[in-house]
Chains A and B, each alone.
Chain A
Amino acid sequence: MDWVAIGLTVKLAALTTLVLAIVGLPLAYWLATTRRRWRAVVDAAVAVPLLLPPTVLGFYVLMSTGPNTAVGRLYERLFDATLPFSFTGILLASVLYNLPFAVRPFASGFASVDRRLIEAARCLGASGPRTFLTVVLPLSWPAVLAGLVLAFAHTVGEFGVVLMVGGNIPGVTRTIALAIYDDVQALDYAPANEASALLVVFAVAVLGVTYSLQRRALPL
């Protein structure tokens, strides 16, 4: 078993999920509550990775973060490093690619919270963020948890985006899905079989968890 690849994969999935919680929760809340026309555009933009082949997204991330691009130059000046073929690079790509898997469950959870409860909280002197933490989140946590679990699981099984942006550098960007591919290319079926079985068990477990969360009524 390639423990280095497994460790790297878990690290990537955990950090992706963390970033998605920080970026995705406010974004989803905005999508669920705003009445601005912009909403539809942002909603569609978030959903785009659902339809795009991962290689296409990876290709554009690679193209827009190279050392000769504005983003690449800025990043190099700030951190003295390059994004492509680095762990940070695949983290960025993962976050973008997984945005809909986290944001859509979040947003549908938030939208199902009675708007009057939010208004009541505001009229009782609670600020927007406070209302979010004390009313919205406690009433929609199953959806939030489902979104986080889905994003984590989806990152674990990712292939195309990571390969395009990260290459296949052991210990840096070689995730378990890439390791399986390598093993098969080398006709080394035993480790590929082990890792694949592990991923199947993981996927089934995650599905079980999300389904039970979705079926769970509000914790009243």
Chain B
Amino acid sequence: MASATDSRYGQKESSDQNFDYMFKILIIGNSSVGKTSFLFRYADDSFTPAFVSTVGIDFKVKTIYRNDKRIKLQIWDTAGQERYRTITTAYYRGAMGFILMYDITNEESFNAVQDWSTQIKTYSWDNAQVLLVGNKCDMEDERVVSSERGRQLADHLGFEFFEASAKDNINVKQTFERLVDVICEKMSESLDTADPAVTGTKQGPQLTDQQAPPHQDCAC
């Protein structure tokens, strides 16, 4: 997908130093669960039903304004296909947060969540923040994984959970924003424990100021 959209990158993402900090996020999950669509919806607000398999890795940059801070997100979209696994896992270490995605109409993609989670545990840092996302929740007729199962698995793995649809733009923005928030929380935590002088005081980027978006599943 990268080469097709090349001209679109460049100016926008280069030269722009106008942000407070940068987070790196990785989207992982089985092939064809909709990772690329999810990212395109979020970054470009576009959707194409055609399936184009991602080659290796790709990324998009989006700067958001959250809790009085401009946060530049470098969101890495990974190929779900097994054959690119060595490349994609190399990116785990640089990621502060993960979106682990499955397709609610595809049992296999849901069953693979456990394995993906293990991959994160293996290759990423200990405090990696993970959101489990069941994509394609617009396709209720073909649903094979119930919301309840998704939520249970997320609870079991200690992840937060969303059902989303890149096609209908449901919960896409919320997912990313929630992930940014939990990374921010981890950041404050990490700095405060490292700094005994301020233990107990919530400070720095006051991320708790704003209400966390409600934990909603897709209503459709």
A joins B in a complex: no
Residues of A within 8 A of B (CB): none
